[in-house]
Structure 1
Amino acid sequence: MDNKLKVLDCLKGHLIVSCQALPEEPLHSSFIMSKMAYAAMLGGAKGIRANSIEDIRAIKKEVNLPIIGIIKAVYENSNVYITPTKKEIDLLVEEGVEIIALDATNRMRPDGKMISELFPEIRNQYKNQLFMADCSTYEEAIDAYKLGFDCIGTTLSGYTSYTKDVHLPNISLLERLVKELPIPIIAEGGIWSPEQLKQCFDAGIHAAVVGTAITRPMDITKRFVNAIKN
């Protein structure tokens, strides 16, 4: 079994915890994210999803788990912000993350390219790197598979303008992708409870990413406060 398959195999049937905090959030700190990752590992997580080279480096010092690395970068001319250009991909490859996730939606990227134009160049340059396609629709996932991505995530379902009315987690999309694609399908987006997580695994997924429900106390607190108001 080659290294790429080993990484995906060790994630099979397990939880990946997303440890991220943006600059405007209270817990924005590479040190805090490293401790979040350590807590997630102690709790049984088998992988970490992390944003930025700084956070990834700090997390690597605390945990020995596969990392799905992203770089969120906002460009004025595009709605694509998850590892949007080759610049961010190059940085993540250089840092040595096991899996690089990037937006694989059918939207124009900051460099003026579509994913169908960018990814063949990336795949050709980095043949031994694992890449995860963050998709929002069935069609985008099928296209990502054809382009040569190693795994598919439903990360952006509900977060693009054309999927904003989708109920999350998008179980029906997961079931369809598991049935039709031979590569690992990773559930991500809108998983708020253990019961929903089980639903996702019952759909036959390879692994699941949970972020906000575990690592964003401000959002978790808001849910409890809203329960009182309602």
Structure 2
Amino acid sequence: MHPILAKLRSQLIVSVQADEGSPLREVSIIVALSRAALLGGASALRLRSGEDIRAVRAMLEAEGKNVPIIGLTKNNHPGTDVYITATPDEVREVAEAGADVVAFDGTDLPRPSTVAQLVEVTHAAGVLAMADISTLEEARAAYAAGADIVGTTMSGYTPHSPRQPGPDFALMDALHAEGLPFIAEGRLNTPELAAEALRRGAHAVVVGSAITRPDHVTRWFAQAVRGV
């Protein structure tokens, strides 16, 4: 097993991202949120855009912290719904910015570049390839194409993976049953759910909105209050 993946075993990865238009969509805020996540016990970070990755990597180096970064981009492309690190150029952007792992859409959606092509470019850049999948079949295909790890990130976002209110534990169980290592991500919005994902065989867990997006968390509470 690669040393970075070994370091992530049974650990918490915090996704520090902010949508366009969010008041948190400032690089300095992303850096502060990343520092706060590490202070709370995160062992790795998942970041979008070369700009964010470079800034957080600089902070880590300045503070003498050896923390893995899973990097990605989110861009729209004509003729496809694939928007997570969809092209070789985006892979290179993420790798050159300082990511240890490049995460990309590994689903069977129509796409500008194949999973195998993205894996090849990622490995040529000297970093690990993480395929974000939504089904067992996509995970099998990603590993066949050379991916180093898969994540359940895309569960609920593809036609073959219906949206559901909670984590896709059925997918996690299926991956574990086949001996396919996976990082659990998606709607793990309580500590109990994150721990359950590890019990279901996840190599590590990614938590984002529940930790780093107060606008999302506020919406959950506001909707619950209005329903009383």
Give the structure-1-normalised TM-score. 0.91
Q: Which residue of structure 1 lines up, in the alignment, with residue 83 of structure 2? A: 81
Q: Which residue of structure 1 lines up, in the alignment, with residue 224 of structure 2? A: 227
1:2-17 matches, cutoff 5 A: 5-17=2-14
Q: Which residue of structure 2 lines up, in the alignment, with residue 32 of structure 1? A: 29
Confirm or deny that 1:95 pairs with 2:94: no
Q: Which residue of structure 2 lines up, in the alignment, with residue 119 of structure 1? A: 118
Which runs of 5 or more structure 2 residues have no equivalent in the other structure?
A: none
Q: Which residue of structure 1 lines up, in the alignment, with residue 179 of structure 2? A: 181
Q: Which residue of structure 1 lines up, in the alignment, with residue 106 of structure 2? A: 104
Q: CA RMSD in A?
A: 1.7
Q: Which residue of structure 1 lines up, in the alignment, with residue 170 of structure 2? A: 172
Q: CA deviation at 1:26?
A: 1.8
Task: Return the alpha-carbon distance in structure 1 between the equivalents of residues 166 and 24 of structure 2.
Answer: 25
* Counterpart residue type for residue 130 of structure 1: L
Q: Spell out, residue by residue over 1:142-198, the C-alpha distance to the aligned partner (whole angstroms, 9 max, x if none).
A: 11011110001000001123323345311111122122135x310001111111111
Give the ranges of 4+ consecutive aligned residues of structure 1 lying more than 4 Å apart after TM superposition. none
Q: 3-state DSSP class of the match of 1:156?
A: coil
The count of residues paired between Structure 1 and Structure 2 equals: 222
Q: Which residue of structure 1 lines up, in the alignment, with residue 157 of structure 2? A: 159
Give the structure-2-normalised TM-score. 0.91
Cα 1:192–1:96 shift into 2, 3 Å: same
* Counterpart residue type for residue 18 of structure 2: A
Q: 3-state DSSP class of the match of 2:193?
A: helix
Q: CA deviation at 1:124?
A: 6.3
Q: 3-state DSSP class of the match of 2:102?
A: strand
Q: 3-state DSSP class of the match of 1:220?
A: helix
Q: 3-state DSSP class of the match of 1:68?
A: strand
Percent sequence identity is: 39
Confirm or deny that 1:52 pairs with 2:49: yes
Which runs of 5 or more structure 1 residues have no equivalent in the other structure?
A: none
**8 Å Cα contact 1:131-1:150 kept in structure 2:** yes
